[in-house]
Structure 1
Amino acid sequence: MLFLLRDKLFPVLVFLQSVLCGCSRNQGRGEFAQLHQHYDVQTIGHLDRKRVAESSGLETAGPEGDLWTHADGGNTANLYRVTAQGDLLQTLELAPLLNIDWEDLAQDPEQRLYIGDFGNNQNKRRNLCIYRLSGPDYAQVDTIQFAYADQHAFPPRKPRRNFDCEAFYYYQDSLYLFTKNRGEGRYVKQYVLPARPGRHTARLVDSLQLNTWVTAADISPDGRRVALLGYGQVYLFERLPGRRLFDSLKGCLTLPTSGQAEALVFTSNHDFIFSNEKGKLFQATWKR
């Protein structure tokens, strides 16, 4: 009964969050411009949830416009290649890897894929890692193990539980991670770590107060803008030389009918595709 009630109320909560889209209480960090007049958002497809459950990450899969996706934690350790309309083309089994809590996908210029196994709802995991896949059929798997520089308790006290992550991207030999705050406030923290195998410490770069949990991230092909996906909105940041990401130009696109959106990927320097846990695929197109 509680799950049915949650499912019925969730669209209402997403709508309310989208209405409250734009504000950050951080003094001097700049306001969010509303972007609804600049984007056209449409449903473009639907994944078969019996075969591709709970899409939690998206990445491009070649010049044909296909996509890689994967399921959320507790599901099979598979990658699925699908069309932009959701048709399943290929299932890539990655056993003996375990899907403890896979949350996002990233890709580097050499077309190596990165799987973020860093979901951490209880803030008590000590085995956070990112898998780097390369070679034919992504048969070579390397592991990037990491810990957060400022986490000293597992779990911390509830007000300080800001070590759950569902979002990251690759840029210039580094991986940038964004947390999903389960403690006080709505602060998203940005961390960075090297994009190479081994044990690393994720260095805290910045934080910003947002109105929603961040569930996915990506950077545009030209490296000029970053998208952070949430429930009911996507935040877009225009990267500026010499400035931290959260001090750059900011915009917010409301997505009141997107549901529990969990994955996003840029398909051009402005356009992007995102999905929700029920398998719907949406495309946001820049109005040129």
Structure 2
Amino acid sequence: MIYIKRLIFLIFIVSSCQSIGQLKIESRIVNELTEVSAAEIGKDSDILWVIQDAGNSNNLIGLDKNGNIVRNIRITNAKNKDWEDLTCDSQGNIYIGDFGNNKKKRETFKIYKVNYDDLNLNSVTAEIIEFSLPKNKNPEDFESFFIYNNSFYIFSKENKNFIVLKVNNSIGKHVAELHTEYNLSGKNNKITSADISDNGKTVILLNHDKLWEITNFETDDIFSGAITEHKFDHDSQKEGICFKTDSTIIITDERKNSEGGYIYSFNLN
């Protein structure tokens, strides 16, 4: 009976193109991708790039607007130790953040760079940015990042006080800089994905049931700006967020049985 109810609910949502809470359902991701953990729209393209979480294949995957796979790029020199987020620079290069650390035992982390010119290939050798933690800093679990002024800003996943690391975008090994420590107001504030608008004026941080919009900050002092909380009125394992336009956001969640596995849109205005 529970299965039938869920099936009816799913058919109703898909056929009516309704919203869930404040989120508009754009499409459902193909069944074989159950643990989508990031989302990024590339340069001059409608392709939505995604990856899957720890233990899945070391592939960068491109989806069309219907959630079907149109690109599937194997990263030949990488292992999906714990891939968590994607970001893109102004040249269209895609970066894969391999910095998940659920057990908090990792002390070194990697970011894989896939060049824009290689995004039509079936397999690529990525360039690698490797970083370690600042001195005397305990290992944390990181699940989100974006690139701004040629540096990565990487957020730890904590309910309360979290840290932001800053790592220079250059190939090779680095020691991360401890950029910020901050505590968002409220409860259940674990950050699972992040992005910055193309104009560099708005930062968004994702949680399972909300996002934070940050504006009017000075240079890279992100939390000096105005912080607005947007509640979705819907709770699922949302792991991917990116800007489609300066005001339209794309969000993905993981699939669990008959629930989740969607591409949503959300308007900041």
The TM-score normalised by the length of structure 1 is 0.77
Aligned match for 1:75, one of 56, 78, 81? 56
User: Which runs of no fewer than 5 residues in structure 2 stay unpaired?
Assistant: 1-20, 256-260
Residue of structure 2 equivalent to 1:45? 27
Aligned partner letter, 1:196: S
Report the alpha carbon displacement of residue 267 of structure 1 after superposing the two structures with TM. 0.6
The CA deviation string for residues 125-160 of structure 1, in whole angstroms up to 9 with x for no partner, is 13311111115325341111111215455x6xxxxx
Contact 1:58 1:67 in 2 (8 A): yes
Q: Does 1:284 align with 2:260?
A: no
Alpha-carbon distance in structure 1 between the residues aligned to 2:47 and 2:266: 16
Alpha-carbon distance in structure 1 between the residues aligned to 2:102 and 2:82: 9
Alpha-carbon distance in structure 2 between the residues aligned to 1:49 and 1:264: 20
Q: Does 1:65 align with 2:39?
A: no
Q: Could you say which structure has the greater relative contact order, defined with CA pairs below 8 angstroms and 6 or more residues apart?
A: 1
- In structure 2, the residue corresponding to 1:125 is in which secondary structure? coil
Aligned match for 1:195, one of 166, 169, 184? 169
Pairwise CA RMSD of aligned residues? Answer: 1.9
Contact 2:75 2:125 in 1 (8 A): no
Report the alpha carbon displacement of residue 242 of structure 1 after superposing the two structures with TM. 5.3
Identity of aligned residues (%): 27
Residue 250 and residue 198 in structure 1: after superposition, are their counterparts in 2 closer, same or farther (change >3 A)? Answer: same
Contact 2:37 2:254 in 1 (8 A): yes
Aligned partner letter, 1:109: S
Number of residue pairs the alignment of both structures matches: 237
The TM-score normalised by the length of structure 2 is 0.82
Aligned match for 1:263, one of 240, 245, 252? 240
Q: Does 1:120 align with 2:101?
A: yes
User: Which runs of no fewer than 5 residues in structure 1 stay unpaired?
Assistant: 1-38, 156-162
Alpha-carbon distance in structure 1 between the residues aligned to 2:35 and 2:100: 14
Report the alpha carbon displacement of residue 90 of structure 1 after superposing the two structures with TM. 1.7
Contact 2:112 2:127 in 1 (8 A): yes
Contact 1:61 1:81 in 2 (8 A): no
- In structure 2, the residue corresponding to 1:200 is in which secondary structure? strand
Alpha-carbon distance in structure 2 between the residues aligned to 1:95 and 1:243: 34
Residue of structure 2 equivalent to 1:33? none
Residue 126 and residue 148 in structure 1: after superposition, are their counterparts in 2 closer, same or farther (change >3 A)? Answer: closer
- In structure 2, the residue corresponding to 1:262 is in which secondary structure? strand
Aligned partner letter, 1:145: E
Aligned partner letter, 2:60: L
- In structure 1, the residue corresponding to 2:118 is in which secondary structure? helix
Q: Does 1:164 align with 2:164?
A: no
The CA deviation string for residues 204-236 of structure 1, in whole angstroms up to 9 with x for no partner, is 111221332100000011100000001211011
Report the alpha carbon displacement of residue 41 of structure 1 after superposing the two structures with TM. 2.5
Contact 2:42 2:88 in 1 (8 A): no
Contact 2:25 2:263 in 1 (8 A): yes
Report the alpha carbon displacement of residue 40 of structure 1 after superposing the two structures with TM. 5.3
Report the alpha carbon displacement of residue 201 of structure 1 after superposing the two structures with TM. 1.4
